[in-house]
Structure 1
Amino acid sequence: MKDAAMHIPTYDDMLTAHDRIGPYIRRTPVRRSDYLNELTGAELFFKCENFQEPGAFKVRGAANAVFGLDEAQAKKGVATHSSGNHASCLSYAAMKRGIPCNVVMPHTAPQAKKDTVRRYGGQITECEPSTTSREETFARVQAATGGDFVHPYNDPRVIAGQGTCSKEFIEQTDGLDIVVAPIGGGGMISGTCLTLSVLAPETRVIAAEPEQADDACRSFKAGYIIADDAPKTIADGLLVPLKELTWHFVSNHVSEIFTASEQEIVDAMKLSWKHLRVVMEPSSAVPLATILKNPEVFRGKRVGVIVTGGNVDLDRLPWMAG
């Protein structure tokens, strides 16, 4: 992927991805809540990617990468590093194609996500919870296995795959004023920008990020990538920094990046469980938290919220003591 990593994916790449991954993903539903609409003053539409079979949107990009491999590459399998959802989704896609998948995961990743990776046949190598350790450990694993590196987000195949979510979203809602999605490394946000810049250029894209892992927000304000090595937040899917491909989309197409505190994320997570009756993992609750925190931006608007995943450890929910 060295050469492909420099390729900025296009709208046509997204359309190709949508055709390619059709047999392996779900066209996820859009849910609404009268209570949350009244609470926010906005008309909210939740695109429930937590209903994908592996429980997260990342199956779109993973499937696009896996099923785009030629036979010679596929025999060697795929490899990646991930805090959980990309690892699960790549393992799932690899299982569907019948090829090996090796993943490097921080030892602090939720047990539920590790269990899912193993259920789909992925081989896990654990590392320390820092970007440096993750990348160093991965280099050793890839050298040993020869698998094709499918980066969790800085990969044109992955970004094109994630862009298919917004294509469906616009078709299911007859248009939106704003779309809000979480941002960590920026794969979903980049795919959202890729699709909406062509399909619905009038729709604003807003990113949502934890205050305790706000490197994308600081990058956005500074005009260049700022990377934190080991941020700490309950939103474990948003710990990684932007890279050159995702920065291209963020810097050119994102309107604003809002942040939410740990408590605001937990509160939004509880609200979504109770009133939307949808299980969001902490990372997925960050957009709703930022909408509640900045009502003046969203009031009176048709707002799409991408629920990126629902993989939670039910024995270690963030509002439990200890």
Structure 2
Amino acid sequence: MKSIIVHQPGDPDVLEITDLPLPEPGPQQIRVKVAASALNPIDLSARAGRLTAAGLMPPMPQYGLGWDVAGHVDATGPGTLRFGLGDAVIGLRDLLFAGGAHAEYVVLDESAVAPVPTSVPLTDAATLPLNGLTADRALDLAGLAPGQTLLVTGASGGVGGFALQLAAIRGLRTVALARPHDAHRVRAMGASEVVTSSDDLGAAVRRIVPGGVDAVIDAAILGITAHQALRGAGTFVALVAPFAPPPIRGTRVVVQEVFADGNRLTELSKLVDDGALTLRVARAFPLDQAREAHELLEKGGLGGRIVLTP
């Protein structure tokens, strides 16, 4: 099968399409024939070697990329119970050193897989697992009750956009930090208030929420800059451990670490079909144009996700 492989970390030119043996599912695993797999910022970091440098990936002679997958069950291992051949599924590969989802086939634990949302194409469905589960878990860690206040940085991005929509479902009042041209869109995703500059972010948010917000989800990785908007004894949810601020003023700082959760992903899939979660695709590229896809994502400002298709 064809798979995107990195042998030596570096710029997008290091990406190679390699023929690998077809992977076989083990006990309680399924093999998915990939229809689409989203490209995420973490794939850029893995390709460039930043994850290895940070101690998040072991040094390896070669490794694949890709977390998200949408496709159809192609084979099942012993003991699988939830899915059968031909079922349309989405799933998350959460082991950085395992075979990547930017390939023609991927093997996943059955517990990492959910039925696809039936109201959207598979290319759109492929954008849900990583960012949707990240946003959902971040909200759980924030621990807010209906009516409490939440700052979401990077609100126009994949994680931030899902966080806004899920926060609205939970009855939270949200302040969104987004680029000026994205203000209308983040309001449509449920933001109660919008701030369009991170300059003196704490003061800007405190003008809207006197005393500071009850929690922050820092999808833009601003660290201490976003922490200034948080009230004393509030909760700060960081998405990248090295950029988590210190827990000053009695605050609680937690790092969200996403993991594959097929049961929760099933609930998120239902929310897409209910119209409560919106999926956004900017461009789809075939695997043999992965370099162009990486270059485009690095430029930023897309307003949607990039998807690779075998």
TM-score (norm 2): 0.35
Q: Which of these two proteins has the greater Rg computed from alpha carbons? A: 2
* Bigger helix fraction: 1
TM-score (norm 1): 0.33
* Bigger strand fraction: 2
Bigger RCO of structures 1 and 2 (CA < 8 A, at least 6 apart): 1
